[in-house]
């Protein structure tokens, strides 16, 4: 399977990508290289090989979801330029 400059032009139009005419030959070569590589992968014998669902056989260790530095509202709000009733006060951004 090979791609022509007309195919690249059509793909670019469908993807709404503006490609100059002088780039079409380079893109055609790149896409043909990718397709050739895929054809090489299709030649690999995978008969009897189980499909992998994940490259990691063992689950990753997960930490306990504990709050370790909470309940310090006053210290956090001390850094705020303005606060009211335990919340940050920011300027209105939408009228």
- Tell me the pLDDT tens digit for each residue of 10-56: 999 999 999 999 999 999 999 999 999 999 999 999 898 888 777 77
- pLDDT bin (cut points 50, 70, 90) of residue 88 is very high
Identify whether the C-beta of residue 3 lies closer than 8 Å to the C-beta of residue 39.
no
Question: What is the average pLDDT score of the chain?
Answer: 89
Listed by start position, the domains of the chain span: 5-42
> Distance between CA 82 and CA 78 in Å, rounded?
9
pLDDT, residue 77, reads 92
40 token code pair? 């090489």
The reported pLDDT for the residue numbered 50 is: 83
**pLDDT at residue 59 in the model:** 78
Angstrom distance (rounded) from CA 6 to CA 11: 9
Per-residue model confidence (pLDDT) at position 53? 75
pTM beyond 0.85: no
DSSP string covering 17-42: ----GGGHHHHHHHHHHHHHHHHHHH
């Amino acid at each position: 399977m090979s791609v022509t400059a007309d195919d690249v032009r059509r793909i670019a139009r469908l993807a709404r990508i503006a490609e100059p005419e002088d780039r079409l030959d380079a893109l055609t070569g790149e896409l043909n290289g990718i397709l050739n590589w895929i054809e090489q992968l299709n030649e690999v014998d995978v008969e009897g090989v189980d499909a992998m669902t994940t490259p990691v056989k063992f689950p990753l260790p997960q930490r306990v979801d504990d709050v370790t530095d909470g309940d310090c509202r006053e210290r956090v709000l001390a850094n705020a330029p303005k606060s009211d009733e335990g919340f940050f006060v920011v300027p209105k951004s939408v009228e």
